[in-house]
Amino acid sequence: MPLPAQPRRWQQIWREAVTDPVELLRLLDLSAHAADLLPPADTGFALRVPRGFVARMRRGDPADPLLLQVLPQAAELGEVPGFTRDAVGDLGARAANGLLHKYDGRALLIATGSCAVHCRYCFRRHFPYAEETAAANRWQLALGHLRADASIGEVILSGGDPLSLSTPKLAELTQALTSIPHVRRLRIHTRLPVVLPERVDAEFGGWLAALPLQKVVVLHANHPQEIDPAVADACAALRAAGATVLNQAVLLRAVNDDADVLAALSERLFEAGVLPYYLHQLDRVAGAAHFEVPDDAALALVDALRARLPGYLVPRLVREVAGAPSKLPV
């Protein structure tokens, strides 16, 4: 058979993602567990996971830490006091103009609502944004705000996942940014290089390298098993394009609430040229209560990391509190 002339484009790989829980269980030799694992009713947040991420899951293991992050579960259906649909407290503001300026010196843009993977613990499970309006219509409003406020030195592209947008679209969005003298840094919050590393292709690397701004890419990986050689290559390409590459993780029960796992995550990230940044306490969003790790257990985990890792490999344990001037240390 002739080899394909070109690697497949990331958009194609995106479209081929697994969206059927029954198929996902079949791919993992877990069909026999379907009755135990799948929720009896619709959770209101569809499964979505790229096949390359599925390939990193252990077959035959219903407790696989990557599977638990994406598989709809019965536990999502129960109501738990304190877990609400608006956990971060500012989703109205997010939807209104697409720009969040809560902290000094940096402003965050909701570039799109789309994600390549649907993480069960995510606050956005209750807020399906319309992609086109986010990227196209709000951008002029956001730019006006950025231009008028000289205290903003850093713009953060977030979402959803901003790398869901095509590279030409990103180029269009960032073109105007480079004409604002006080904006010196562009930060990108993205899980795509982890769940679909093909996204970091030559076109993307070229765009990033050519941007006349300082560049920071903050990835989102929660478990060392997520970082395979293709992900490490994507991280290398980001660094080659001049970006500082960091990682934020969410502390998740039964996924990474274990000092060995978190230490291995830091080590694996560093091997890929990435430094740990934040370890987030879960946003208390309805349907995610079964992932919560109590604060005392979280603090004990970080103490254990501090005792065995160099300081630069210990992530900062933080929580988002509505109205606070920054992420708050736990």
Ligand X SMILES: *Cc1c(COP(=O)(O)O)cnc(C)c1O
The residues that touch ligand X, with contacts defined as CB under 6 A, are: 100, 102-103, 106, 108, 156, 326-327
Window 64-123: residues binding ligand SF4 (CB under 6 A): 115, 117-119, 122
CB of 164 to ligand SF4, least distance (A): 9
Give the 3-state DSSP-derived string for the chain, with helices as H, strands as E and coil as C.
CCCCCCCCCHHHHHHCCECCHHHHHHHCCCHHHHHHHCCCCCCCCCCCECHHHHCCCCCCCCCCHHHHHHCCCHHHHCCCCCCECCCCCCHHHHHHHCEEEEECCEEEEECCCCCCCCCCCCHHHHCCCCHHHHHHCCHHHHHHHHHHCCCCCEEEEECCCHHHCCHHHHHHHHHHHCCCCCCCEEEEEECHHHHCHHHCCHHHHHHHHHCCCEEEEEEECCCHHHCCHHHHHHHHHHHHCCEEEEEEEECCCCCCCCHHHHHHHHHHHHHCCCEEEEEECCCCECCCHHHCCCHHHHHHHHHHHHHHCCHHHCCEEEECCCCCCCCEEC
* Closer CB to ligand SF4, 245 or 309, in the complex: 245
User: Shortest Cβ distance from residue 90 to ligand SF4 (Å)?
Assistant: 15
Q: Is 194 in the site for ligand SF4 (CB under 6 A)?
A: no
Q: CB nearer to ligand SF4: give 117 or 309.
A: 117
Q: Which does 19 bind (CB under 5 to 8 A by kind): ligand X, ligand SF4, none?
A: none
Find which of ligand X, ligand SF4, none residue 103 binds, CB within 5 to 8 Å per kind.
ligand X
Residue closer to ligand X by CB (options 47, 188) is 188
Q: By C-beta, is 183 or 262 nearer to ligand SF4?
A: 262
The correct pick among 21, 50, 72, 160 for binding ligand SF4 (CB under 6 A) is: 160
Name which of 137 and 326 has its Cβ closer to ligand X.
326
Write each residue from 199 to 218 as x if it is in contact with ligand SF4 (CB under 6 A), else as -, in one continuous string: --------------------
Q: Which residues bind ligand SF4 (CB under 6 A)?
A: 115, 117-119, 122, 124, 159-161, 191, 220
